[in-house]
Amino acid sequence: MSDLTRAERLQIMLTPDEVRALDDWRFKTRMPSRAAAVRELLKRGLAAEGFEMAASGQKSEDFGVTHGNADSRRARKPDNSEG
């Protein structure tokens, strides 16, 4: 999968052992680059923890705890009438 619209750059510092482990995994799985290997490992790690990748076009409100339209999620003022 080649996504040429990546706009964010993430820089990380790794120990020599971490780089060696990354490169060993990268070559074993035939990843084309370290960046591709890191993205794949990130995706797998998140999936293992139960996180799913967001589909393109989703909004942050799509990841709320409750479901329904935005109006139903807004706090409602209590009705002071007793009737």
pLDDT (tens digit per residue) in 44-60? 998 888 887 666 666 66
In a domain, 36, yes or no: yes
Q: How far is it, in rounded angstroms, from Cα 78 to Cα 80? A: 6
Could you tell me if residue 61 is inside a domain? no
Distance CA 30, CA 16 (A): 20
pLDDT score, position 8: 85
If one counts the domains in the chain, the total is 1
- The Cα–Cα gap between 81 and 83 comes to 6
Is residue 56 in some structural domain?
no
Number of residues that make up the chain: 83
User: Which residues constitute the domain of residue 32?
Assistant: 13-50
40 CB-contact burial (10 Å; exposed 0-12 / middle 13-18 / buried 19+): middle
Average pLDDT, the chain: 76
Would you say residue 7 lies in a domain? no
Q: Which residue has the higher pLDDT, 26 or 69?
A: 26
In a domain, 74, yes or no: no
Q: Is residue 23 part of a domain?
A: yes
